[in-house]
Amino acid sequence: MKVLVVGNGGREHALAWKLFRSERVDEIFVAPGNDGMTDIAQTVDIKADDIEGLANFARENEIGMTVVGPEEPLVAGIVDYFVEESLPIFGPKKQAALLEGSKVFAKDILNKYNIPTAEYEVFTDPDSALNYLKNADYPLVIKAEGLAQGKGSIVASNFQDSQDAVTRIMEDKTFGDAGDRIVVEDFLEGEELSVFALTDGQTILPITTARDHKAVFEGDEGPNTGGMGAYSPAVNTDEELMDKICREILRPTLHALNSEGIDYRGVLHIGMILTESGPAVIDYNARFGDPETQVILPRLGEDIIELMEMTNNVELKYKKEIKVSGSVAVCVVLASAGYPLTFNTGYEIKGLDNLKHHDDLLIFHAGTKIVEDKYYTDGGRVLGLTVVDNGLLNTINKVYQYIEEVEFEDMHYRTDIGFSISEIAEKELN
């Protein structure tokens, strides 16, 4: 089978890497991809939002499955277009992808079907929002309604913070049309958790958990990025909690979608907060996360193509569970200094050959290019270094040891990926 992966970052490299290991897959294309993927896939000069161009390529090259990495094409309706053209594709249709594409739609679903989430208000103009925020209780979370590449959520500790957030989102249009409306939510106290599941519209099966670190600086300080690192499984989950999540969030979400006449087939990635009263939904995502994919797929113990086909064919009822390994995966993102704001690129990346000697290390390229057989930086997030081993603390230590062997000018990374939660000490140091 020939497979086409849509996208160009670390998530797409991880998807191509996992697909490369399927006995069903003969050839992989990534559109547009990046130079770091060319050892396992052919890059194709078609942008991820060029739906017609991607469909034409899939048809002409007899692609057996197209796998969509980023959220933008899903929200734009790439799956609907491919299905109409009888082209196999994995991911939810446009109406289903609204769970991610519209914060208001998602919150209304959560509220209507009594799925645990924060109390919220929706505003369509800055004056109304500011009038509400003057007398609000803080902290609050202010979110751009539409897609903002994981950067449109701002925690406001006081009115000045919220005023700045409203100005950025609604007046300065930092996130474009995504800021036409905002959602103002109560701030939920607790540890964050990401749960990944597959659903074919009738059955929903959890895959595993992960913990993402979005803030650019240590201690979760600074602006949100697309993700500075992740690990899987999350240490703050156990079988009892997962049963509760399935009972109170996963299955009710599927019921809600069915009740609304929405046939959701694909990955459902749910961000949660573990509050004192139980897990509550922060947001829904209609695709694999980035960089979470770089720690989830190395632990996946199944052929990813078979899972995708079962999802598309509404056959998940025949599986009792999705197998994942008992190992731990930790990913640290090496970024360009200044990301997610302004940054420079074009710096040589040194030491990558040294890293090839580590059998427990995976290198996923996010923003690199090759010039005369040398790699150079070509984006905000440059590389994701993932180690798979036993024990979270041990795996964390290994990935940071390996990072010392690679360098490029303006290289920035967080030094506390996985260390920001107390459970590590409780579970591994005592």
State pLDDT tens for residues 322-334. Answer: 999 999 999 999 9
351-369: average pLDDT: 94
Task: Provide, for the chain, the percentages of residues in helix, strand and coil under a 3-state DSSP scheme, each rounded to the nearest 5.
Answer: 35, 30, 35
Residues 428 and 20: their CA atoms lie apart, in Å, by 34
Cα R_g (the chain), whole angstroms? 21
Helix axes 103-112, 94-101, angle to 10 degrees: 90
128-145: per-residue pLDDT in tens?
Answer: 999 999 999 999 999 998
pLDDT at 112 over 90: yes
Q: How far apart are CA 190 and CA 427, in angstroms?
A: 18
DSSP-H helix ranges across 235-292: 239-245, 251-259
pLDDT at 430: 43
Q: What percent of the chain has pLDDT over 70?
A: 97
Per-residue pLDDT tens over the stretch 385-422: 999 999 999 999 999 999 999 999 999 999 999 875 54
Domains, the chain, in order of start with CATH, read 2-93 (3.40.50.20), 125-180 (3.30.1490), 191-318 (3.30.470.20), 328-429 (3.90.600.10)
Whether 139 contacts 133, CB under 8 Å = no
Q: Answer whether residue 153 shows pLDDT above 90.
A: no
Q: How many Å apart are CA 79 and CA 342, to the nearest integer?
A: 33
403 or 429: which leads in pLDDT: 403
Q: In this structure, are residues 70 and 58 in contact, taking their beta carbons and an 8 Å threshold? A: no
Q: What is the mean pLDDT of residues 244-270?
A: 97
Percent of the chain with pLDDT over 90: 86
Q: Measure the CA–CA gap between 388 and 294, rounded to whole angstroms.
A: 10
pLDDT tens digits, 77-93: 999 999 999 999 999 99
User: Does pLDDT of 362 surpass 90?
Assistant: yes
Mean pLDDT of 61-77: 97
Mean pLDDT of the chain: 93
End-to-end, the C-alpha distance of the chain in Å comes to 49
CA 19/CA 28 separation, integer angstroms: 8
Beta strands in 140-277 (DSSP E): 140-144, 153-156, 182-186, 191-199, 204-212, 215-217, 221-224, 229-232, 266-275
pTM: 0.93
Does the pLDDT value for residue 426 go beyond 80?
no
Residue 174's CB: how many other CB atoms inside 10 A? 17
Residue 406 CB neighbour total at 10 angstroms: 20
User: 103 with 143: CB under 8 angstroms?
Assistant: yes
Q: Is the pLDDT of residue 427 over 70?
A: no
pLDDT in tens, 288-305: 999 999 999 999 999 999
Structure tokens at 19: 């697909």
H helices of 218-331, in order, are 239-245, 251-259, 293-296, 304-312
Closest CA to 250 of 263, 269, 237: 269
What's residue 420's pLDDT? 59
Is residue 160 over pLDDT 50? yes
